[in-house]
Amino acid sequence: MSRNVRVVGVPMDLGADRRGVDMGPSAIRYAGLAAAVEETDRECIDAGDLNVPRPETRASKPRPEDGRAKYLSETREVCASLADVVGDTLAAGEFPLVLGGDHSIAIGTVNGAARAADVGVVWFDAHGDFNTPSTSPSGNVHGMSLAALLGVGEFADTSWAAAGVDPENVALVGIRDLDPEERVAVRESPATVYTMSDVDERGLPAVVEDALAIAGDGTDGVHVSLDMDFLDPNEAPGVGTPVRGGATYREAHAAMERVADLGDDLRTMEVVEVNPILDSLNGTSELAVELVASALGKRILR
């Protein structure tokens, strides 16, 4: 990939059920993000953080118009702003690298990426994020983000959420924790799902190559969404919803090295769900920086 990288922080924790993930963008920057990006021979331009409402200043209960989804109106505001920033960054010929914050921000990133192009999505995550307000056990929007941007359920025909992405160009990688109704929705979706059982049988590099091919088939580019709970908690303890049995350190790097092979077909990327409060010595943020560098083309011998 030849474009300069514009970093956009979204200190969002309204979509999660644990405080601290709003500090993720700062922790990732502190872990040396700018230097790591510039080591890949690209300029790193930090656009700062979007303004995100604080939970303390908003209603603690869902608004009637939001159904059972917590802070859905506020999430809509943030994601609409993020979509504008991502769209403008792409129009300027730069690569948007979005730092979360919880995974609800993907709604904004993908909507911005899809404004002037057809995009596919590869979703690295322990979870499906395929709930809707009526199926979610928690009401947390970070568990609905993929369903939202695909227009599933109550998110159908929502101009702020549904991004027009063809679900046949969506691949989920590393899945190992689904809610009961969410499991049914994922099975019925045209999206392709690679569980950790698939990874065990085939190896992660082969799975990721297939996922990228699915996302790129007939599209103008690929969005990569990296939730740090894709990795095993032994590797990335600083996440809000850890699930045992995830990717190892080297598997995650191998996955991002395959992402780098996309070159300029990698349209956008986000890294989400880093929670420094739950971390050890900022290790999860440091790993996030390493994985971004691998996705941008850093290799052992060059």
Q: Which residues are catalytic?
A: 103, 125, 127, 129, 142, 227, 229, 273
Annotated ligand binding at 127? The verdict is: yes
Facing residues of 173 across strands? 124, 194
| Secondary structure (DSSP) of 25-73 | HHHHHHTTHHHHHHTTT--EEEEEE-----GGGS-SSPPGGGTT-TTHH
Enter the tokens of residue 31.
């872990």
Residue 162: count of CB within 10 angstroms of its CB = 20
CA distance 220 to 175: 26
Strand extents, DSSP E, 196-254 = 221-227
Does residue 62 contact residue 76 with C-beta atoms inside 8 Å?
Answer: no
- Ordered strands of the 44-49 beta sheet: 44-49, 5-10, 95-100, 266-272, 221-227, 119-124, 170-175, 192-195
Cα distances (Å, whole numbers) of residue 100 to 59, 68, 237, 302: 22, 23, 16, 29
- Residues belonging to the chain: 302
Does residue 99 contact residue 24 with C-beta atoms inside 8 Å?
Answer: yes
Annotated ligand binding at 253? The verdict is: no
CA distance 57 to 65: 18
Enter the tokens of residue 158.
């929502």
Nearest to 271 by CA among 236, 299, 301: 236
Annotated ligand binding at 177? The verdict is: no
Residues at the annotated binding site?
103, 125, 127, 129, 227, 229
Residues at the annotated binding site for Mn(2+)?
103, 125, 127, 129, 227, 229
